[in-house]
Copies of this chain bind each other. A is one copy, B any other.
Amino acid sequence: MKYSELKQNLKEHKLRVTDCRMDVLEHFQQQKRALSFRDLEDRFQEYDRVTLYRTLHSFEENGLLHKIPGDSGSAVYGLCNSCGVESHHHNHMHFKCTSCGVTECIDTPINIPSVSLPKDYKMSDMDVIINGLCKLCNN
């Protein structure tokens, strides 16, 4: 993705354009997978840990990234193609490879069934995490 598009992307989310944010956003675009704070820390040693934390938080707060529930303890962030400004409450589907540990967004629109909850429960949205083997580890 071109520099101008990244810049535009940040501005659309009301985020000030800085080196750190441009680099982090570009990295998410290129990697096409969910990244943890640790991933960013390893990749961008030129930026302070605190700055990376704050970058992730502001990205999340402004709807550019969303947090993916992970059982490993540390949070993982994903950049879904379907993550538009208005579509905050869509249902996320993610694939986590049990072999290599990579988490990816599943963009294939799948009609998630209307779950029959017990009486008086009200669903707002749901996270679906599919565990298994990704295309690389499955071959």
Interface string of A3-40 (1 = CB under 8 A from B): 00000000000000000000000000000000000000
Stretch at the interface among A41-49, A79-87, A114-122: A114-122
B residues within 8 A CB of A120? 135, 138-139
Asked if A131 is at the interface of the complex by the 8 Å CB criterion, the answer is: yes
Known contacts A127-B131, A133-B122, A135-B120; A69 and B67 CB within 8 A of each other = no
Interface members, chain A 55-93 (any B CB < 8 Å): 67-71, 73-75, 93
With A69-B71, A73-B75 known as contacts, the answer to whether A121 contacts B117 (CB < 8 A) is: no
Give 1 or 0 for each of A101-139: 1 = CB within 8 Å of chain B CB.
000001010101101111111111111111111110011
Interface: A51 (CB within 8 A): no
Interface residues on A, range: 35 or more
In the complex this chain forms, how many copies of it are found? 2
Contact partner, A115, options B73, B110, B115, Cβ 8 Å: B110
Complex Cα–Cα for A74 and B116 (A):
28
Cα-based distance from A133 to B73 in the complex (angstroms): 24
Q: How far is the CA of A110 from the CA of B128 in the complex (A)?
A: 14
